[in-house]
A = this chain, B = another copy of it.
Amino acid sequence: MAKELEGFNFEQRHGKARVRVGRVWRSKDGCRHFMVEWNVNISLLSNCVAAYVRDDNSDIVATDTMKNTVYVKAKECSEQLSAEEFAILLGKHFTSFYPQVFTAIVKIVEKPWERISVNGQPHEHGFKLGSEKHTTEAIVQKSGVLQLTSGVEGLSLLKTTQSGFEGFIRDKYTALPETRERMLATEVTASWRFSDISSVKLKMPNIHFLPVNISSKDHGSIVKFDDDVYLPTDEPHGSIEASLSRFWSKM
């Protein structure tokens, strides 16, 4: 990944981002359809210093070629497969097909298309967009070593009670009252890594629902609020990130 240039390290990667592909598979009788929509992001790490130093592109995989490869490989997958399997398949292709490429990083975000039900029956070919997205990342080395991560993003959750926050540090910058009862909301981004090592990573911002309290010097509050009216707000938000891993890991 690195090439020393007169006492400097030079690192680079190039790729194609936001390659969107839809793939439809049909049951044998052609009636029942299965479909996925993937947003694919490819980064290749390769020996291509010549392109930077000598204006020589002979070791460069054009990003347009990477895009085409996504479509060709999607076509070749005659059986339905998971985003994880497709990411690995692409990663293995790039590292084995091109001598110059030593690492391929393939990320996929899957749009949550869900089969529609009509009168309690699943529809043959109708789909509706759901909410949270499934994500995956495959890092494939030329040696065949593989690091696979799966995850979810955009999962918004909320509970209206049974959350408190007490006993925290109080100092001259502290204005927040302690509470045994508050609204708790978050948008989960989570990922978990497979292989010999395994780890879990969580990002759960604290999306605040502030209890509303109106005061007027002129007329006083008209209504005494007791925490059933809230101001939901996106910014600022609390941020909490944590990871748990065997032996070693980086956050």
Cα of A16 to Cα of B173 in the assembled complex, Å = 14
In the complex, the answer to whether A130 meets B127 with C-beta atoms within 8 Å is no
**Binary contact track A37-80/B, C-beta < 8 Å → 1, others 0:** 10001010000000010001111111111011101101110000
Identical copies in the complex: 4
Contact A1 B223, beta carbon cutoff 8 Å: no
Is there a chain B Cβ closer than 8 Å to A196's Cβ? no
A172: which of B35, B219, B243 is its contact (CB, 8 Å)?
B219
Q: Please, how many residues of chain A have a CB less than 8 angstroms from a CB on the other chain? A: 116
Which of A's residues lie within 8 Å of B, judged by CB? Answer: 1, 5, 7-26, 33, 35, 37, 41, 43, 52, 56-65, 67-69, 71-72, 74-76, 97-98, 100, 113, 116, 125-131, 155-162, 165-177, 183, 205-206, 209, 212, 214-219, 222-223, 225, 228-249, 251
Complex contact B14–A239 (CB within 8 A): yes
**Cβ B17 vs Cβ A205 within 8 A:** yes
